[in-house]
Amino acid sequence: MKALPLPVSYFLCCLTLVINSASTLAVEHIAPIAKADIIQSDLDYWFASDSFITIKDDEREIPVLFSEYMSNYKRGIIVMLPGVDQSPIQGNGLSYLREALNDDGYDTYVIPSPDFNYGPDLMKDAIAGNDVEVEKNNPTKRALVSDSALNEYKAELVARFSALYKTLALRDSEHIAILAFGNSAGLITEYLATLPNIRVDALITVSAQLANPDRNKHLPASLSLVSPALLDVYYSYDNPAVLHTIKDRRRWAKRNSKYDYRQRQLFGQHTQERQHQRLRKELSGFLRQL
């Protein structure tokens, strides 16, 4: 058997090395850094260590961003719950509100959002090719995230809130309010709807929604069942999951005699500075009436 010419042998050796390297690289996978870890890293960079307090949840320590009131007298406490993957220091109004509420006389506690698992069962369906295409006539039929993913996030969010609430509830003379955004607002609403005797004076929801359509259609009823006074804020260019339930929220509040329910529309986008300022005005006016 004749030996292959040197150029051909060299070419085959290089090709073999390339194929082996490609197969090795295809097997290796480095998971991306969790968004919650990125947000916490940013907070650690921009804020001093004494800006955080530590709460314990099931033997875990969770840092909570704390800011003290800066007016001539204290009005109360506001627990802030950012939306999924929402950072307290980005240009989404949350950072502005935190400082503005301090100036208005409120201590603020920002509980970091847990990691959100975007539905592993939906991912498996997509890989298997089952029910991947969305029906053209009903694009909202398929869930954006799975019900189990929402439940996991809710359990973690409630655990963090409960750990902080146990400390705050000991202050009998303090007024306590919750300011929640997005899916966190929808999930904390579901939780509060089952606790008629919780000592929270006000709940403010901003763009409250649930990313699962089956859960989201029941959100208006849940909003009408919470015991705290409720300010329900949304934007004129909000998520369709929010806008499609606005009318039903008012109807359910009327049906269940939720007389301390207030609904406010902010015009424009939630990223606009003027809307941040108007949101502060709405919050301040609502809380002063309590």
**Single-letter residue type at 5:** P
Residue 18, in any domain of the structure: no
Residue 8, in any domain of the structure: no
pLDDT of residue 287: 94
pLDDT band at 13 (very low <50, low <70, confident <90, very high): low
- Mean pLDDT of all residues in 219-224: 97
Q: Are 187 and 219 in contact (CB under 8 A)?
A: no
Q: What is the pLDDT of residues 180-218, one digit of tens each?
A: 999 999 999 999 999 988 999 999 999 999 999 999 999
123 half-sphere exposure, CB direction, 13 A CA radius: 6
Q: What is the pLDDT of residues 73-127, one digit of tens each?
A: 999 999 999 998 887 776 567 888 999 999 999 999 999 999 888 755 555 545 5
Q: Residue 78: which of 259, 289, 284, 260 has the closest Cα?
A: 284
pLDDT of residue 62: 87
Residue 97, in any domain of the structure: yes
The whole model's pTM is what?
Answer: 0.81
Q: Residue 63: which of 95, 36, 94, 96 has the closest Cα?
A: 36
pLDDT at 161 over 70: yes
Which is it for strands 106-110 and 76-81: parallel, antiparallel or unpaired?
A: parallel
pLDDT band at 136 (very low <50, low <70, confident <90, very high): very low
Which is it for strands 229-235 and 176-181: parallel, antiparallel or unpaired?
A: unpaired
Q: Are 155 and 188 in contact (CB under 8 A)?
A: no
pLDDT of residue 252: 98
pLDDT of residue 59: 72
Radius of gyration of the chain (CA): 24
Would you give the DSSP letter of residue 30?
P
Mean pLDDT, the chain, rounded, equals 83
Q: Which range of residues forms the domain containing residue 248?
A: 35-288
Q: What is the pLDDT of residues 21-48, one digit of tens each?
A: 555 554 565 666 766 667 667 777 667 7
Count how many domains the chain has.
1
**Helix (H), strand (E) at residue 17:** helix 6-27
Residue 202, in any domain of the structure: yes
Residue 161, in any domain of the structure: yes
**Which of the pair, 258 or 8, is modelled with greater confidence?**
258
pLDDT band at 221 (very low <50, low <70, confident <90, very high): very high
- Mean pLDDT of all residues in 256-281: 90
Instruction: Specify the CATH number for the domain of residue 237.
Output: 3.40.50.1820
Kindly report the backbone phi and psi dihedral angles of residue 158, in degrees, each rounded to the nearest multiple of 5, phi listed first.
-65, -40
Burial bucket for residue 182 (CB in 10 Å: 0-12, 13-18, 19+): buried
pLDDT at 133 over 50: no
Residue 9, in any domain of the structure: no
Residue 7, in any domain of the structure: no
Q: Sheet with 229-235: list strands edge to edge.
A: 52-57, 60-67, 106-110, 76-81, 176-181, 202-206, 229-235, 261-266
Residue 180, strand partner residues: 81, 205
Residue 162, in any domain of the structure: yes
Tokens, residue 176: 């306590």
Which residues neighbour 147 within 8 Å (Cβ) at sequence distance 6 or greater? 212, 214, 215
Q: Where are the beta strands (DSSP E) in the chain?
A: 52-57, 60-67, 76-81, 106-110, 176-181, 202-206, 229-235, 261-266
pLDDT of residue 101: 95
